[in-house]
Amino acid sequence: MNIKIFLLIMIVAAVIWYVVASLMIVGELLKRKQKIQFVLIRFMIPVYAHRYKKITLEETGHVGPLFYHWIISINIALVFTIALIIAKFSG
């Protein structure tokens, strides 16, 4: 398999993981009666993720696992995107 195709598949998988984690965070906030602005949800996801982190830290003393899924998935997408750009320009 070509390295560029592999990197593209990994980027798509990481973005799907990010979207699912984001939706699950919003769902958890809704369970806790937090106000969510669905019109601006695309831009407000970082705010909601940090709100989820704060709430779960206060409730349990630990950050909720969805926050880590959210952070790791977007960082993986970023790393593979940079790798794809490097692979594209190197040959």
The reported pTM is 0.90
The model's pLDDT over 1-55, given as tens digits with 9 standing for 90+, comes to 799 999 999 999 999 999 999 999 999 999 999 999 889 888 999 999 999 999 9
For residue 90, the Cα-to-chain-centroid distance in whole angstroms is 29
One-character DSSP codes across 2-42: -HHHHHHHHHHHHHHHHHHHHHHHHHHHHHTT----STTHH
Phi, psi of 26 (to 5 degrees): -60, -40
In contact, 11 and 81? CB cutoff 8 Å: yes
Q: Return the SS3 of 61.
A: coil
